[in-house]
Amino acid sequence: MAEIPKVLRSRRLLQWAAFLVVLLIGGQFTLWVLPYLEGRPPSVPRPPGVEAFLPINSFLALRHLINTGRVDPVHPAGLAIFLGILVMSFALPRSFCSHLCPAGLLSELLGRTGARLFGGTLRLPKAADLPLRGIKFLLLGFFAWAIWFQMSAADVAAFLDSPYARVVDVKMWLFFARPSNLTLLVLAFLVLASLAIRDFWCRYLCPYGALLGILGIFSPWKITRRESKCTQCLACTQACPARLKVHQETRVTSPECTACQDCVAACPEKECLALALPGGRAPILRPALGVLLALAIYAGVTGLVGLTGGWKTSVTPAEYQKRIPEIQSPLYTHPMGLNPAEKGPEKNRRE
């Protein structure tokens, strides 16, 4: 059986810590939602961190911030988290994917499990791999086109204040808590594909990863190889989850690189590989410091945005108590919120 590549230990610890936080947020949100669905108030507060799972809403909130200079009061935490992810993945290319993303951790674990079960993972030929990798960029392009070119500033503001958007976190919870047969089939396909093909979701389908990959192209910190130290053992290339030929690069500039530093962990030569700044400087950022820098940037940006724009939603418990029991009504399925004739009653309801 082929040897399973090494994983940077400090990065893996951070991934598991982030995954534990996600589980805690999901558990608390479940305890918050269920009483409302039964018509009674919850005994726990709503965790703002759940808004991390609303990337499209956060994308809209970012445009709203650019248009108006104002933070969306309905999901301010989502915008703070989104900005933290963007800045983090600009500073260290796509580092959110390899350090904090729960889907990234699950994808890695499924790939490693598949390698143990089948003695390795499937690698598609370049003729198939390259166009498939383009799917995530096409999906990103579609969302960017819809949000930035098909919606006016007024459309964005109306959507963010619509009944649908005000409870979109609960809609998201219902999607996974009560999945349809189609949802289960899609999830089963993704699991099986991830067992067979390493990082299937991240490599081919994730538009979030595509956005962060584009930002990562302009990152100042990149995996840098010191040729004088390299023995061409190929350990770095074999360890790279993105299948990049690290042993041939001086600086890794591919949008597929996630700054995971697994290549650094696999390299037997000290100071041969490291995250480094441009300009021919010697690699100075040790692996654990790279992990800490990624975390510090994320925490700093989310904390700053939270302090300046608030962290708690403007939706009151009384409004949740009215809306959530009726969430299956057509009012909460219209993607652009209310029809003009319905705006008056809705405004009165919120007041």
Residue 56 CB burial class (10 angstroms; 0-12, 13-18, ≥19): middle
At residue 344, does pLDDT exceed 70? Answer: no
Which of helix, strand or coil describes residue 313?
A: coil
Which residue type, as a one-letter code, is found at position 20?
Answer: L
Predicted local confidence at residue 347, as pLDDT: 43
Q: φ and ψ at 321, to 5 degrees? A: -65, -25
Mean pLDDT for 251-280 is 90
CA distance 193 to 300: 36
Domain positions in the chain are 9-350
Residue 266 CB burial class (10 angstroms; 0-12, 13-18, ≥19): buried
Q: φ and ψ at 268, to 5 degrees? A: -80, -10
Query: pLDDT tens digit string along 150-177?
Result: 999 999 999 999 999 999 999 999 999 9
Mean pLDDT for 209-226 is 93
Between the CA of residue 51 and those of 139, 168, 208, 252, 292, what are the distances in Å?
21, 9, 15, 32, 24
Predicted local confidence at residue 341, as pLDDT: 37
Predicted local confidence at residue 282, as pLDDT: 56
